[in-house]
Amino acid sequence: MNIVEREKPMGAIIQLGGQTPLKLAIPLEQAGVKILGTSPSAIDRAEDRELFGNMLKKLKIQHPEDGTATSVDGAIEIANRIGYPVLVRPSYVLGGRAMEIVYSDEMMQHYMKSAVKASPEHPVLVDRFLEDAKEIDVDALCDGRRVFIGAIMEHVEEAGIHSGDSACVIPPPFLSNQEKEVITRNTEKLALELGVVGLINIQYAVKEGEVFVLEVNPRASRTVPFVSKTIGIPLAKMATRIALGQTLDELGLEGDRFSSLKHVAVKEAVLPFVRFPGVDTVLGPEMKSTGEVMGIDDYSPSSDTGIGMAMVKSQIASYNDFPVSGTAFISVPDRKKGEAAFIARRLTEEGFRMLATVGTAERIREQGIEVETVNKVGEGKPDVVDFIREGQIDLIINVPEGRGTRGSGYAIRTEATMNGVPCLTTIELATIVIMGIKALKKSGLKVKSIQEYHAAIAKEQAEAGNE
């Protein structure tokens, strides 16, 4: 308010600074400061759990079942009604702080007693967790009358991993056209219903062809710089102009840009695990990354080469050097063993020698794939940790069974980090990394500037306009 008294501004823009300014919207308005862009009441409607739920019912948009708890017993009652696993978090948190995926009453009791202090003033949010779902991010502009979608981004990691930690891809590689249409339609409905004037970010989960809304943020998200670079449109600048009264028509923004791209872009997180020996490298709903990078390459809807090469470039930029040959180790829970066989086949085709723990190895052999068995941690020597320590493993795929466990998987992942061995903790990431290994062996690393791609799009649009 000291700044307001001194500067006497025409208003304040609160949608470009993350979550914190949103909390200030109503107090600022009450203090006489004009809020430019999306109104505080619209922000409150997206932030308030009850108002948000009523809006989704009105628009007939699916949302995972949820509840609000102020005690341990209340949280357990909600979780049993919804069904485990559930995502639990304090209300109004930053960076996914103190978020956790809970699989049992025992885990819920531990979480409620150790991670948070629940009360009527500080309730805990409990949501049904859509296990094995794909997570999608959308960044869009709205002028209150029309919506311009900057990009639909598909996360490489499964739903439940914080968007700041998850690698994501533009254009979305594995979404069906029908799923993209539902996401586009729901984004338009939500932005117009809220009366958004500026930027909006929506997070979706897609499971077995069904699209669920996870969260709506009537503000800029951390993905806006990535999207802006990818599509060649400065979304923050456009949002500011909209907040000051210009329309999408006046700004020349129509249709979408991401579906006509000549390149594929991968955003990858930079993670600090190497600096913290002993910390588990499994990603979850609480953000751990300290930065992010971007890889780009030629896009072809009929080829894996572009997305694979863009992934390789992003991994190199985030200090991960992936091998193109050597020995790969796989260990996954029972529900992922079928997918592990697919990964093993792809790696074998690329010339990798395969190692796996007993259960995973049996499933892989059933598919006619050659694999050697290695002891689990604590089940005889030498075990897999010994192999890592002795430099006998070049690539690891280790998918954990749930979150928060500190068993053999924890020992494998921490030893891999200490020895500089790439360790992939999701099947989705392993799939795209293998695309990258194949692309790298086929054509080698090539560099092309993003300006060249944007120039090609502009030329094509100009020629279409002349016609």
SS (H, E, C) 82-131: HCCCEEEEECCCCCCCCCEEECCHHHHHHHHHHCCCCECCECEEEEECCC
pLDDT tens-place string over residues 12-36: 999 998 777 888 888 999 999 999 9
Looking at residue 406, what is its pLDDT? Answer: 42
Residue 340 CA to residue 398 CA, distance in Å, equals 10
Looking at residue 235, what is its pLDDT? Answer: 96
Residue 126 CA to residue 133 CA, distance in Å, equals 18
pLDDT tens-place string over residues 140-195: 999 999 999 999 999 987 666 766 777 899 999 889 999 999 999 999 999 999 99
- pLDDT greater than 70 at residue 402: no
What is the pLDDT of the chain when averaged over all its residues? 85
Closest to 12 (Cα-Cα) out of 4, 235, 20, 218: 4
Q: Does any domain span residue 225?
A: no
pLDDT tens-place string over residues 360-390: 899 999 999 999 999 887 787 888 989 999 9
Residue 201 CA to residue 152 CA, distance in Å, equals 10
Q: Does any domain span residue 419?
A: yes
Closest to 191 (Cα-Cα) out of 404, 354, 43: 43
CB of 341 within 8 A of CB of 369? yes
198: left (phi over 0), alpha (psi -120 to 50) or beta: left
Q: Which of 107, 127, 147 is the last residue of a domain?
A: 127
Looking at residue 405, what is its pLDDT? Answer: 44
Closest to 162 (Cα-Cα) out of 213, 107, 100, 85: 100
Residue type, 399: V
Residue 71: which pLDDT band, with cuts at 50, 70 and 90?
Answer: confident
Q: For the chain, first and last CA: distance in Å?
A: 55
Looking at residue 282, what is its pLDDT? Answer: 64
Q: Does any domain span residue 384?
A: yes
Closest to 284 (Cα-Cα) out of 77, 170, 135: 135
For residue 423, the SS3 value is strand
pLDDT tens-place string over residues 261-294: 889 999 988 777 666 666 666 666 677 777 899 9
Q: Does any domain span residue 219?
A: no
CATH number, domain containing residue 433: 3.40.50.1380
Q: Which of 106, 127, 148 is the last residue of a domain?
A: 127
CATH number, domain containing residue 94: 3.30.1490.20
Tell me the CA distances in angstroms from 82 to 59, 63, 128, 395, one per residue in order: 22, 12, 6, 38
Question: Residues 231, 237, 239, 241: what is their CA dihedral angle, to the nearest 10 degrees?
Answer: -130
Q: Does any domain span residue 168?
A: no
Residue type, 62: Q
Looking at residue 178, what is its pLDDT? Answer: 95
Closest to 245 (Cα-Cα) out of 288, 211, 279, 197: 197
Number of domains in the chain: 2
Q: Does any domain span residue 328?
A: yes
Residue 102: which pLDDT band, with cuts at 50, 70 and 90?
Answer: confident
pLDDT tens-place string over residues 239-260: 999 999 999 999 999 877 777 7
Structural domain containing residue 70: 65-127
Of all helices (H) and strands (E), which one includes residue 75? helix 72-82
Looking at residue 404, what is its pLDDT? Answer: 45
Looking at residue 373, what is its pLDDT? Answer: 92
**The pTM is what?**
0.84
* Three-class DSSP labels, 156-208: EEECCCCCCCCCEEECCCCCCHHHHHHHHHHHHHHHHHHCCEEEEEEEEEEEC
Q: Does any domain span residue 109?
A: yes
Looking at residue 351, what is its pLDDT? Answer: 93
Phi, psi of 160 (to 5 degrees): 110, -15
- pLDDT greater than 50 at residue 224: yes
Q: Does any domain span residue 274?
A: no
